[in-house]
């Protein structure tokens, strides 16, 4: 669960850093709608891929791009885009605020994925526990137990 949350927060932080540097500090304004969409998609994809590669390189976790793309996309729209439009200037305090809000936004949007991963892991564990129960053939006839009733050693116990 904490891996998903930290990957989401990292995605938000990287995306917010890109937005703060490219759009606010440099002041890059795309000449057309197509240019704006290309820059937007580039930043969203770059932040998701970067977090995945960094997490794998650190051997911390292997986040799914199926989760990182929506987190990055939603983080761009909810906290980052609004705070970027309302940014009073391009001072260091403003840039750090954008990055902090992006981190919090990524953390917020990763909560549903973390809860889903936690639920999925718990349900998989209960299936695994049920698979380790081994039943022997035991016949009960006239209140007499027939067959081998000794404990069975599973593969894990051997």
154 falls within a domain: no
Q: Which residues span the domain enclosing 116?
A: 2-131
pLDDT of residue 151: 57
- How many independent structural domains does the chain possess? 1
Q: What is the pTM of this model?
A: 0.73
pLDDT of residue 113: 94
pLDDT of residue 27: 78
Supply 43's token pair: 């930043």
Q: Residues 85-110: what's their mean pLDDT?
A: 92
103 falls within a domain: yes
157 falls within a domain: no
The tens digit of pLDDT for each residue in 126-143 reads 555 455 555 555 666 666
145 falls within a domain: no
pLDDT of residue 68: 95
pLDDT above 60: residue 156: no
pLDDT band at 36 (very low <50, low <70, confident <90, very high): confident
> What own/partner pairs with CB < 8 Å and gap ≥ 24 does 117-125 have?
117/1, 117/4, 118/1
pLDDT band at 1 (very low <50, low <70, confident <90, very high): confident
136 falls within a domain: no
CB 106 within 8 A of CB 75: yes
The tens digit of pLDDT for each residue in 63-96 reads 999 999 999 999 999 899 888 888 888 889 999 9
53 falls within a domain: yes
The backbone torsions φ and ψ at residue 120, rounded to the nearest 5 degrees and listed phi first, read: -65, -40
153 falls within a domain: no
148 falls within a domain: no
Q: How far apart are CA 22 and CA 121, in angstroms?
A: 39
């Amino acid at each position: 669960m904490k891996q998903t949350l930290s990957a989401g927060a990292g995605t938000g932080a990287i995306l917010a850093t890109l937005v703060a540097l490219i759009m606010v500090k440099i002041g890059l304004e795309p000449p057309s709608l197509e240019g704006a969409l290309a820059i937007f998609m580039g930043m969203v994809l770059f932040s998701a891929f970067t977090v995945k590669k960094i997490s794998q390189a650190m051997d911390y976790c292997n986040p799914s791009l199926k989760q990182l793309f929506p987190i990055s996309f939603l983080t761009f729209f909810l906290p980052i885009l609004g705070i970027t439009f309302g940014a009073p200037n391009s001072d260091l305090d403003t840039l750090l605020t954008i990055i902090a809000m992006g981190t919090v936004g990524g953390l917020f949007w990763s909560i549903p994925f973390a809860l889903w991963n936690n639920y999925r892991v718990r349900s998989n564990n209960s299936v695994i526990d049920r698979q380790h129960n081994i039943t022997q053939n035991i016949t009960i006839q006239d209140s007499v137990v027939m067959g081998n009733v000794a404990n069975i050693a599973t593969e894990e116990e051997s």
